[in-house]
Chains A and B, each alone.
Chain A
């Protein structure tokens, strides 16, 4: 793996230009490709630490890129798309993308998302802490205990299961289908209301301001994301 290399697969020269400038300012090494084929070639050759992918490429659909890349690599992948339909986002995430930004996007926002993706990757590689802290909440996965302001919070088995699935991948958008399959099983992958009710309960128990959550975030029409 190439520690700080980012592969940018984007056919628009001007977008690659500012991405390169912004990424190099963050001391990333930038690899550029403008087609799916050359992007896959570079990914295979240099093994970048991050991939930024535009979904609308001239030679093939970006979804194809994700599917082929995922055959051999689980490098964190962020998708950019000028299509604003939620079905596109869900398709990209279900294919194996880690995050999604709609064009036009803010550079600061992009860099923050990339940092989150990288941090998650490094954390997974170096250590696996059983304890996760966010806001006033401490989740101790070894003892299956959750405290808030030092007080014990009671969760049902499914609430706990859902929380741990989200906590396992901070920053990553998990689609509704992925969460339902994981927590309730394949038979419930269309029961979106289960998820909404349980997320609502978790927010009531864990968020400081449940109506304006900071950690258990909704990606409307797509799924949910846990932010540290």
Chain B
């Protein structure tokens, strides 16, 4: 609060209040009167008035406006009664002294007023400084808070107010977003870990299978060095390793699909593109089953993940092949019904049991489980039903939606 030498000239916000202040003011005035009275003849009354003014001013500074007013009135009374002629009487006949007394009263009033205002301003300033410091401390503590309970504990320690409220709100939001960021970070990390495990598992499983499939096929191709029985065995090993590789692929795919956070690459696709590719992939597996495709040439584009939808079609066709005797036809149909399209793979065999849709530890179950998982992420589902004329249909629907338009302005007429 400044240097000590001029301390007494400072405002005293912590000065005594109430009756004590008035008594002190009176005592100070009486003291000044008592000390100056013996010498007032030599000093002259003007100087005595100066001393009284000083005393009143200090009273205003230290004791406040009202005690200083009392001091001023008392000083005027003392001056009038003891110092100003006629002594020991309240009335004065000299205009000089009347002016002197009135001016002194006015000065006392004004200084008291000024001092009081200063005091009030100072008090307000100190209070606001205290509030600011409290907010600053609170902000510092809040910055260190790591949990909502800590924020609540800090809030309880400090006075409430608009500024404190917004500080608390900011702290709570900070914690909230930190929590969200942490959660999403954990999720991203676990997703990344999962993908990298699946990826290295895929590599580690496929590499020996590739060698096995390739070695047996090569041996089989160079058949002349083997006896027919050995040829058969090599072919069987090859077949089994291809089957194993297929199963590993499907298992890994199912693992990827069931992680629940699959990234869909949805685009507007032509169904015929996907079915054609699925047929190519199946290759000779379909050779013994005449395939009837019923996809209209003007079939609309649909929004789906082409790679996954190719698996659905491929798995359904494979399933139909697996469960029907050679020579029976398989139908792949697609038609628009209202606001959606229905795609069905139907066979004419005895059909797989309709209850066989749950994931079971057999090959067909795996394929269908993959279909179900893929259709689920597309918001669709697989429906298996027995056909009245024998055979089974596996159907699913996809929404028609609004395919993007194509700008054909620059492609008119025929060049050939």
Contact = CB atoms under 8 A, between A and B. Distances in A.
A106 B239 CA distance: 11
Nearest to A216: B276
Interface residues of B, number: 54
Interface in B265-304: 265, 267-270, 272-277, 279-280, 291, 293, 295, 297, 301
Interface stretch (A12-20, A41-49, A125-133): A12-20
A63 to B, nearest CB: 15
A33 interface: no
B306 A82 contact: no
B56 interface: no
B194 interface: no
A159 B277 CA distance: 21
B272 A156 contact: no
Contacts of B280: 217-218
A106 B273 CA distance: 23
A104 B206 contact: yes
B207 A196 contact: no
Interface stretch (B6-14, B19-27, B159-167, B217-225): B217-225
B306 to A, nearest CB: 5
A199 interface: yes
B406 interface: yes
Contacts of A218: 273-274, 276-277, 280
9 contacts: A25-B218, A104-B213, A107-B218, A152-B416, A160-B416, A193-B268, A193-B406, A194-B406, A220-B274
Interface of B: 199, 202-203, 206-215, 217-218, 221-222, 241-242, 245, 249, 252-253, 265, 267-270, 272-277, 279-280, 291, 293, 295, 297, 301, 306-307, 310, 403-404, 406, 410-416
Interface of A: 12, 14-15, 17-19, 21-22, 25, 56, 82-84, 86, 103-108, 144-146, 152-160, 191-194, 196-197, 199-200, 203-204, 209-213, 217-221
* Leading 3 A-B pairs by shortest Cβ distance: A14-B211, A221-B307, A154-B414
